[in-house]
Amino acid sequence: MTFKALIFDMDGTLLDNMHVHNSIWSEYLAEHGVHLTPTEIGIRTASLPNPQIIRMFLGEGLEPDLVWAKATEKEDRYRDRLARGLIEPLPGLRAFLDEIAAAGLPRAVASSASRVNLDFTLKALRLETFFQAVISSEDVLHGKPHPEPFLKAAERLGQAPGDCLVFEDSSFGLLAAQNAGMRAVALTTSHPAEELRHFPHLIGLMPDYQAVSLAGVLEGRLG
């Protein structure tokens, strides 16, 4: 088959930054008496929206305003840490995106990140005008593994779900793509290949974008 549109997750898919998120969550939760390593955090929270993570570890009964305040505090720390460092896209991403732009293909981001984080990161990567649709956690009622983020991205691009190819790094994100009826490429930035290769809708796995060609991807193959 030939895909007509591409949908990207952001964290771990456009840039390798999940270790930053996981470290900050580990530090933040430790301050609230919950002691987990960054690795444990990553396994338990991949693709979950911040309010769900807060409630998971700090209490299901927290008032919505308090949940929002705690999630905002965590993300303030994340942006501060990234602002003091260097944000770089995954190797080969820019050349791949240049191919997509030259071909005039519709493209979207569908992320579990908040709108402020999503905008912050895309601007830092100089990609704020590249995507025709940008779906954040505030744009959906149900986060991944529910298919809503990807279905909404396809809708905004004016494409049928089956004509869209998803790029994802997490098992929840890949399950969301599967639930949306979309094929996917798995990035192995956050999880080893053996944890992801069992998904039946994958066209392949890759560590980054250096060895991928747009022509191959559109035909449903990598390399």
Is residue 200 one of the residues assigned to a domain? yes
| CA atoms of 90 and 216, how far apart (whole Å) | 19
Q: Tell me the pTM.
A: 0.86
Enter the DSSP assignment of 191.
Answer: S
| Same domain membership, residue 28 and residue 56 | yes
CATH of residue 210: 3.40.50.1000
| Same domain membership, residue 150 and residue 44 | no
Domain count along the chain = 2
pLDDT, block means (10 residues), the chain with 223 residues:
92 90 94 94 84 93 93 90 81 96 97 91 92 96 95 98 97 96 95 92 95 91 77
Q: What positions carry a catalytic annotation?
A: 9
| Same domain membership, residue 72 and residue 43 | yes
Terminal-to-terminal C-alpha distance of the chain: 16
Is residue 223 one of the residues assigned to a domain? no
pLDDT of residue 88: 83
Site of tokens 């301050």: 31
pLDDT of residue 69: 94
Q: Name the domain boundary from 83, 109, 139.
A: 83
| Same domain membership, residue 59 and residue 69 | yes
pLDDT of residue 60: 92
Domain span including residue 30? 18-83
User: Residue 13: which of 81, 85, 93, 72 has the closest Cα?
Assistant: 93
pLDDT of residue 49: 83
Is residue 12 one of the residues assigned to a domain? yes
Classify burial at 222, counting beta carbons within 10 Å of its beta carbon; exposed 0-12, middle 13-18, buried 19 or more.
Answer: middle
